[in-house]
Every structure is written in C-alpha cells, then in structure tokens.
C-alpha cells in the first residue's frame, strides 16, 4: 500500500470527522435556539390564556384570534424544535461514524507502519545473519589482527 495513499486517507477521514463535528455543533445550537423559541411562545400563549375574557363581541373575537395565532405559532415552534432534535441525533450518528472511520484508518496506518518496521528489521537481521555466516578469509584475518 502506498504511503501517500494512506496519508491521504487519514487526512480525508480527519476532514470528514471535522465536518461532522461542526455539523453536530451547529445542530445543537439550532436545537437550543428552537427550544428557546418554544419556551417564549409557550409563555406568550399562557399569558394570553390568563387574560380576562373581553366583554364586547369584537374584543372577544380579536382575543380569540390572537390566542389562536399564538397557539399556531407555538405548534410550529414545537414542530421545528422536534425536527431540530432529530437533526441533532442524525448529526451525532454521522459524527460517530466519521470518528469510527478515522480510527479504522489510523489502525490501518499503524498496521502498515508495523509491517514496514518488521520487514525492515527482518532484512537487517538477515543481513547480519549473512555477514555472520560468511567464511572469514585470510585477508579479513590479517586486517583484523
């Protein structure tokens, strides 16, 4: 396996994980924002419900319309928040998958480095074994003495 290819794979997996992490953080921020919107819309609906019922028909219709609009806004905010929470879950899964893929690529690189080291060590050992098994010539003896 080419070292350049393996390095590219590792960088690609790291970038993939970084993108997934950023998307997860964005989804979490969006979910918190929508949760705040739900809370404020809920408070508005509660406040409208606590108001006294107006005496005139026109005021009653206006108050009812305001309550209905506030309730519709709250329902839309709740739906948006539910979708945002679903997005958080999906982005968390994507981040987990990306992290697992990066770890797999790192293990592959470690395995490749270990195999290269073993091959290099075996070649050095073989070279040493060959040197040790060569018959010494008289020239070698005279030079050593």
* Integer Cα distance of 109 and 113 in angstroms: 6
Would residue 112 count as lying in a domain? yes
Would residue 42 count as lying in a domain? yes
Point out the least confidently predicted range of 38-47, 83-92, 113-122, 127-136: 127-136
Q: Decide: residue 106, CB within 10 A, 0-12 exposed, 13-18 middle, 19+ buried.
A: middle
Would residue 120 count as lying in a domain? yes
What's the domain count of the chain? Answer: 1
pLDDT of residue 88: 98
* Containing structural domain, residue 102: 3-128
Would residue 118 count as lying in a domain? yes
**Average pLDDT value for residue range 110-122:** 92
* pTM of the complete model beyond 0.75: no
Query: Residues 118-138: pLDDT tens digits?
Result: 999 998 888 888 887 777 665
Smallest Cα–Cα separation from 62: which of 50, 71, 75, 53? 53
């Amino acid at each position: 396996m080419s070292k350049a290819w393996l390095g590219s794979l590792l960088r690609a997996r790291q970038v993939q994980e970084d993108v997934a992490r950023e998307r997860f953080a964005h989804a979490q921020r969006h979910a918190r924002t929508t949760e705040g919107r739900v809370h404020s819309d809920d408070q508005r609906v509660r406040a409208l419900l606590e108001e006294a019922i107006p005496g005139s028909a026109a005021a009653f219709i206006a108050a009812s319309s305001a309550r209905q609009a506030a309730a519709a806004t709250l329902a839309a905010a709740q739906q948006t928040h539910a979708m945002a929470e679903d997005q958080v879950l999906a982005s968390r899964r994507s981040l987990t998958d990306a992290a697992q893929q990066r770890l797999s690529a790192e293990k592959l690189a470690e395995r490749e480095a270990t195999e290269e080291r073993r091959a290099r060590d075996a070649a050095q050992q073989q070279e040493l074994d060959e040197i040790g098994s060569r018959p010494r010539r008289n020239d070698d003896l005279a030079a050593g003495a």
